[in-house]
Amino acid sequence: MKPVTFDHWPYPRFIAHRGAGKFAPENTLAAFRTGAGYGYRMFECDVKLSADGIPFLLHDATLERTTNALDALGHGLSQVGGEHPWGTLSLLDAGSWHSRRFAGESLPTFEAIARFCLKNHYFLNIEIKATPGDEHHTGEVVARHAARLWHGTLVPPLLSSFDVASLEAAQQAQPELPRGLLLDDLWTGWLETALRLECVAVICNQNLWNDSSMRQAKSADLRTLSYTMNETASAHKLFGMGLDGIITDRVDLFSPASL
Ligand code: G3P
Ligand code: MG
């Protein structure tokens, strides 16, 4: 028996990737606001821990692609995001790399993003993207924060990860929160693992969905989602096969109004 059951799947079909991370700097509040401006009501984001245990949004393990850390911290200091305390991370510019318009945009705490979503009745897919070596701890801490922030609300956030240890830790810490197994490859035992983790969904690289994988997931009562879908033809094909949702960068192309 799964601890998480929904009478119906509560999430929208269209999920904005990293906020709306192409039209604004990914994994920032500006990206969420941009996605919301396109009518999106659900967002995916990547969450990891600072050195002092604060969950915050960042995709890469390192800071240099999406912040000004090389300039701000100096070339001699570690670029690993999870090796800095939140006090240092919170001062970085996470917007200028994208465009001048977003200069000064901050890295957000997970809590700030959660509050934005809760206040606006948006849904959230939290990808647990631990700093390498910190997978179990990150899964536990993120799940605990998510449970605290969404306490008493009708629809919980969907926790997901490529990392089995992170999902195991989330399952142990907060079994009631729904989980999705992310797959970039149909590795041996993926379905058994998703079931052992009591997942409600598998979220596959779009190239992995075919009649066989879709049938296996559906027969196991798992919802089927796909990332990162940026073309209408492939999305229509997969929806025709029974896909339940897509995570997309192209918030301009897929209209949530077509739900
Ligand atoms: O959660 C779906 C997608 O975000 C996974 O890939 O690398 O964009 O985090 P990535
Ligand atoms: Mg992600």
CB 18 within 8 A of CB 59: yes
Distance 227 CA to ligand 1 centre (A): 7
**Nearest CA-CA partner of 61 in 167, 138, 153:** 138
Distance 129 CA to ligand 1 centre (A): 9
Range of the structural domain that residue 237 is part of: 14-258
256, pLDDT greater than 90: no
Choice from 228, 248, 249 to test ligand 1 binding pocket (greatest atom count within 8 A of CB): 228
> Which atom of ligand 1 is nearest the CA belonging to 162?
5
Average pLDDT over residues 210-238: 97
Please report the pLDDT score of residue 203 as a whole number: 98
- Residue 8 burial (CB count, 10 A): 5
Q: What is the distance between the alpha carbons of residues 145 and 147, in angstroms, rounded to a whole number?
A: 5
120, pLDDT greater than 70: yes
Q: Does 21 reside within a domain?
A: yes
Tell me which residue has its CA closest to atom 3 in ligand 1. 227
5, pLDDT greater than 70: no
Distance 181 CA to ligand 1 centre (A): 11
Q: pLDDT tens digit string along 145-166? A: 999 999 999 999 999 999 999 9
Please report the pLDDT score of residue 196 as a whole number: 98
**DSSP-assigned beta bridge partners for residue 16:** 43, 248
Distance 17 CA to ligand 1 centre (A): 7
Q: Does 3 reside within a domain?
A: no
Tell me which residue has its CA closest to atom 10 in ligand 1. 59
Please report the pLDDT score of residue 12 as a whole number: 97
Joined together, the tokens standing for residue 202 give 């598998």
Indicate which residues carry an active-site annotation: 17, 59
Distance 184 CA to ligand 1 centre (A): 9
**DSSP-assigned beta bridge partners for residue 49:** 55
CB 106 within 8 A of CB 135: no
Q: For residue 161, which ligand has an atom nearest its CA?
A: 1
3, pLDDT greater than 90: no
pLDDT tier for residue 130 given thresholds of 50, 70 and 90: very high
Q: Does 2 reside within a domain?
A: no
Average pLDDT over residues 27-52: 98
Give the DSSP H/E element, type plus range, for residue 126. strand 123-128
pLDDT tier for residue 187 given thresholds of 50, 70 and 90: very high
Joined together, the tokens standing for residue 33 give 């606001």
- Cα angle vertex 114, ends 109, 118, to 5°? 155
Choice from 22, 27, 46 to test ligand 1 binding pocket (greatest atom count within 8 A of CB): 46
Contact residues of ligand 1, CB 6 A cut-off: 17, 44, 46, 59, 127, 160, 182, 203, 227-228, 247
Q: In whole angstroms, how far apart are CA 213 and each of 26, 137, 197, 202, 208?
A: 30, 31, 18, 10, 7
Q: Does 65 reside within a domain?
A: yes
Q: Does 8 reside within a domain?
A: no
Choice from 203, 206, 247 to test ligand 1 binding pocket (greatest atom count within 8 A of CB): 247
Q: Does 51 reside within a domain?
A: yes
> Which atom of ligand 1 is nearest the CA belonging to 125?
1
Please report the pLDDT score of residue 76 as a whole number: 86
Q: For residue 159, which ligand has an atom nearest its CA?
A: 1
Please report the pLDDT score of residue 257 as a whole number: 73
2, pLDDT greater than 70: no
Q: Are strands 179-183 and 42-49 parallel, antiparallel or unpaired?
A: unpaired
Q: Does 49 reside within a domain?
A: yes
Q: For residue 247, which ligand has an atom nearest its CA?
A: 1
Average pLDDT over residues 46-63: 98
> Which atom of ligand 1 is nearest the CA belonging to 17?
4
Q: pLDDT tens digit string along 170-184? A: 999 999 999 999 999
**Nearest CA-CA partner of 226 in 215, 214, 216:** 214
Q: What is the distance between the alpha carbons of residues 61 and 135, in angstroms, rounded to a whole number?
A: 12
Please report the pLDDT score of residue 259 as a whole number: 47
> Which atom of ligand 1 is nearest the CA belonging to 160?
1
CATH assignment at residue 188: 3.20.20.190
Please report the pLDDT score of residue 183 as a whole number: 98
Average pLDDT over residues 92-107: 98
User: Total structural domains in the chain?
Assistant: 1
What average pLDDT does the chain have?
96
Please report the pLDDT score of residue 4 as a whole number: 57
What is the distance of C-alpha 248 from the center of its chain?
12
